[in-house]
Amino acid sequence: MDVLDILSNEHGLIRRYLEEVSLAAEKMESGARPPREFFDKAIEFARAFADRYHHFKEEYLMFVRMAQKRKGEIDAQLEALRHQHERGRNLIAAMAERLDEYAKGNATAAAELLENLAAYAALLKHHIHIEDHVFYPMARRELDTQDMAQLLDEFESDRSRAGERTFENSHKLVVDMGSILAHM
């Protein structure tokens, strides 16, 4: 598996996560209140897997390599992708900020949580689509065998840093989120 296959595989898990997040938003729009535990897991996944694991590899490894290869030609596009990552971080922080009040039954906190949840899901779905259909194909054309091998080594180093079971643990979080929603 090459680095783009790894990132695409991670997108698959993030898409599954977004399905659960979107289902929670639909339930909230119908008046249901998913338990706090669902949102704790959702925030943990977003921070640990989507951000610190997946987005780290994109921003600090892949984007840097592509910027060097294209000698500044795609800096604006890379900055837009980084901005979307940052916007996602801000939405997750806003959700985390309102969880205590949501758990106490505060209607305003529930409305803000829903708004941020829906915005986060929409943002990431769009972002993944751009990466899968524009950025990754461009990277596949631009990066040679040596670039791919070096990135794969860097990805393996990052996997050791993040923890060997990060993907598996994150997959379990998504399964648990689905289970929580199924039992509502």
pLDDT per position as a tens digit, 121-164: 999 999 999 999 999 999 999 999 999 999 999 999 988 888 88
pLDDT per position as a tens digit, 47-104: 999 999 999 999 999 999 999 988 889 999 999 999 999 999 999 999 999 999 999 9
Number of continuous H segments (helices) and E segments (strands) in the chain:
9, 0
* DSSP summary character for residue 57: I
Number of Cβ atoms within 10 Å of the Cβ of 12: 10
- What pLDDT score was predicted for residue 161? 82
Percent over 90 (pLDDT), the chain: 92
Q: 71 burial class (0-12, 13-18, 19+ CB within 10 angstroms)? A: exposed
pLDDT per position as a tens digit, 5-61: 999 999 999 999 999 999 999 999 999 999 999 999 999 999 999 999 999 999 999
- What pLDDT score was predicted for residue 10? 97
Where residue 12 sits, what CATH number does that domain have?
Answer: 1.20.120.520
Distance CA 117, CA 153 (A): 35
Look at the block and give the residue holding tokens 């929603």: 181
| Confidence (pTM) | 0.94
- What pLDDT score was predicted for residue 158? 86
167: containing domain:
3-182
Count how many domains the chain has: 1
Nearest to residue 10, comparing CAs of 122, 126, 121, 132? 132
- What pLDDT score was predicted for residue 162? 83
Distance CA 117, CA 111 (A): 10
- What pLDDT score was predicted for residue 164? 83
Residue 1 has pLDDT above 90, yes or no: no
Asked whether the beta carbons of 162 and 60 are under 8 A apart, the reply is no
Distance CA 80, CA 127 (A): 10
Q: E-assigned strands of 35-104? A: none
- With vertex at residue 134, the alpha carbon angle to CA 130 and CA 135, rounded to the nearest 5 degrees, is 90
